[in-house]
A and B are shown apart, each in its own frame.
Chain A
Amino acid sequence: ETGVTQSPTHLIKTRGQQVTLRCSSQSGHNTVSWYQQALGQGPQFIFQYYREEENGRGNFPPRFSGLQFPNYSSELNVNALELDDSALYLCASSRLRGGDNEQFFGPGTRLTVL
């Protein structure tokens, strides 16, 4: 069974730029959720994708957008980067409507915005 993988591991961008982060789901999982974790805080839910559609969104502006592909991998795109976007971005996969609530997280992408 393959776990959740994310790329890249680290990324440095400047304010105003755009960034794309990638995630591969765990085998057998059809749902991907993205979280932002600021230093010293718990992860905050950004949005979830199920069957290539956004399935719910947290309190994040539209410049945070995503995609899910037929193989259930996913991308997180952030436009017009701000300094406060510096954080660890986590992807988690799960099996929606499978009767359980287990989410498995990837190692994260650490984004630094200068």
Chain B
Amino acid sequence: QKEVEQDPGPLSVPEGAIVSLNCTYSNSAFQYFMWYRQYSRKGPELLMYTYSSGNKEDGRFTAQVDKSSKYISLFIRDSQPSDSATYLCAMSEGTGGFKTIFGAGTRLFVKA
């Protein structure tokens, strides 16, 4: 079993839809939870990071962490074609990116 599980998709939605992306994990020591967006042949871009459990909102993006269920989510409201990319969840036990573990990524397509 992988430490971090993420459905690879692809996920296809119409423009304006609410997108829900999820990851589960097995290591209860993870404290820091991140979401990255990666366009084809580019490096990952940090979208959201959360420490411990709770919600965080930034514009159209909301990240949720439920440590009791070992489950994290990213919601994208009013999705746009420019949101089409691969979304990677990531988590680590310590600060500064130490031994960050990534999910395999979910490919998202937003149709105009």
Contacts and interface: CB of A to CB of B under 8 A. Distances in A.
Contact of B96 (A42, A44, A101, A106): A101
A101 B102 contact: no
Contacts of B41: 88, 108, 110
A99 interface: yes
Contacts of B22: none
A8 interface: no
B24 interface: no
Contacts of A28: none
Contacts of B6: 42
Interface of A: 4, 6, 31, 33, 35, 40-45, 48, 50, 55-56, 58, 88, 90, 92, 94-108, 110
Given A48-B96, A103-B46, 10 more contacts: A31-B97, A40-B105, A42-B6, A42-B102, A56-B98, A90-B43, A92-B97, A96-B95, A98-B96, A101-B49
14 contacts: A40-B105, A42-B102, A44-B102, A45-B99, A48-B96, A48-B99, A50-B96, A101-B32, A101-B49, A101-B94, A101-B95, A101-B96, A105-B46, A110-B41
